[in-house]
């Protein structure tokens, strides 16, 4: 028997009906920090001009900040930063939100790119340097160290005091006393503070219990209490901050907000033989900054 064979041939046509290829978003333009600028804020805000997307896709951003322009070990490397509506506003990322503190006296490079869920566009160009190809220009800035010390209360006035009377700022208004001197670190590095003063009384010498001070905390963890003068200390006229080694009364005063200040309380006891008349003293604060 010879088997029966049959065959069937047909032509098929396949028509493309899929979605067009997704367009990548354009590169952002970096704005702030300005390219080539110097700043003192160690947690700066990064601002850029938004990307645009031909498909009107929702855009997020990827930010990198590094002290090496190769970006091989970024100090800040944050993605999925929510963008604003393209063409309507700039987009900002606050580096402090990531608890990243940049080092001082250091040059940094930064760049940003957009993602429309289909992929990343090119890296940013600087808005201050047009016509650079994507990725060729890494905007840079330098964080400079800043030693800055500010008084929020610099004067204490006790008024009329009798011989043998004791007055103090300790406790401030709550104790019915004059408010103490208040000072704060308004720079961006830690500091140590040394204190001395000119003579207040004429009948007794300095370095006695008639004229004392102590350091009191106003904000928690502003300074290192174990090595600071937190007990009543006799005031000296010597510039102890310039001694070798120096004598510090406030140690490791922080620069970070909400924990960067201290109170200087004063304690005066008028000698029994002190002559009448106006009494005043100038208190000197010697500041030594350092980078931790």
Task: Decide which of 90 and 246 is more confident.
Answer: 246
Report yes or no on whether pTM surpasses 0.95.
no
Tokens of 51: 């990307």
Q: Does any domain span residue 8?
A: no
CATH code, domain carrying 263: 2.60.40
What is the structure's pLDDT at 243?
77
Is 62 in the same domain as 115? yes
User: Do residues 254 and 279 share a domain?
Assistant: yes
Domain count, the chain: 2
The reply to whether 13 falls in a domain is no
**pLDDT top residue among 254 and 51:** 254
Determine the pLDDT at residue 118. 83
If asked whether residues 251 and 122 sit together in one domain, one would say no
Domain membership of residue 133 as a residue range: 29-143
Domain boundary among 94, 119, 143: 143
131 and 164 inside one domain: no
Q: Given 143, 162, 184, which residue is the final one in a domain?
A: 143
Indicate whether 292 pLDDT > 70.
yes
Per-residue model confidence as pLDDT tens digits over 114-171: 998 888 988 987 655 444 444 455 789 999 999 999 999 999 999 999 999 999 999 8
- Mean pLDDT for 229-239 is 94
Q: Is residue 19 part of a domain?
A: no
Predicted confidence (pLDDT) at residue 83 exceeds the cutoff of 70: yes
pLDDT in the model for residue 4: 42
User: Within a domain: residue 196?
Assistant: yes
Where is the domain boundary, 143, 158, 192?
143
Question: pLDDT at position 148, please?
Answer: 98
């Amino acid at each position: 028997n010879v088997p029966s064979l049959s065959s069937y041939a047909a032509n098929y046509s396949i028509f493309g009906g899929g979605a067009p290829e997704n367009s990548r978003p354009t590169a952002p333009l970096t704005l702030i920090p300005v390219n080539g600028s110097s700043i003192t804020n160690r947690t700066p805000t990064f601002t850029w001009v938004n990307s645009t997307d031909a498909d009107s896709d929702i855009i997020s951003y990827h930010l990198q900040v590094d002290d090496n322009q190769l970006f091989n070990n970024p100090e800040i490397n944050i993605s999925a930063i929510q963008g604003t509506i393209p063409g309507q506003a700039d987009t900002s990322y606050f580096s402090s939100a990531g608890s990243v503190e940049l080092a001082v006296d250091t040059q940094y490079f930064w760049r940003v790119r957009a993602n429309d869920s289909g992929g990343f566009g090119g890296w940013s160009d600087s808005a201050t340097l047009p016509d650079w190809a994507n990725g060729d220009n890494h905007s840079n800035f330098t964080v400079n160290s800043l030693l800055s010390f500010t008084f929020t209360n610099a004067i204490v006035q006790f008024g009329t005091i009798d011989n043998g009377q004791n007055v103090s700022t300790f406790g401030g208004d709550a104790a019915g006393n004059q408010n103490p001197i208040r000072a704060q670190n308004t720079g961006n590095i830690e500091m140590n503070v040394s204190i001395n003063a000119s003579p207040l009384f004429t009948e007794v010498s300095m370095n006695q219990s008639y004229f004392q001070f102590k350091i009191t905390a106003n904000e928690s963890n502003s300074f290192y209490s174990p090595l600071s003068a937190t007990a009543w200390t006799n005031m000296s006229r010597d510039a102890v901050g310039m001694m070798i080694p120096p004598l510090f009364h406030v140690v490791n005063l922080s620069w970070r907000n909400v924990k960067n200040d201290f109170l200087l309380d004063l304690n005066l006891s008028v000698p029994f033989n002190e002559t009448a008349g106006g009494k005043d003293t100038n208190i000197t604060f010697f500041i030594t900054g350092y980078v931790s």
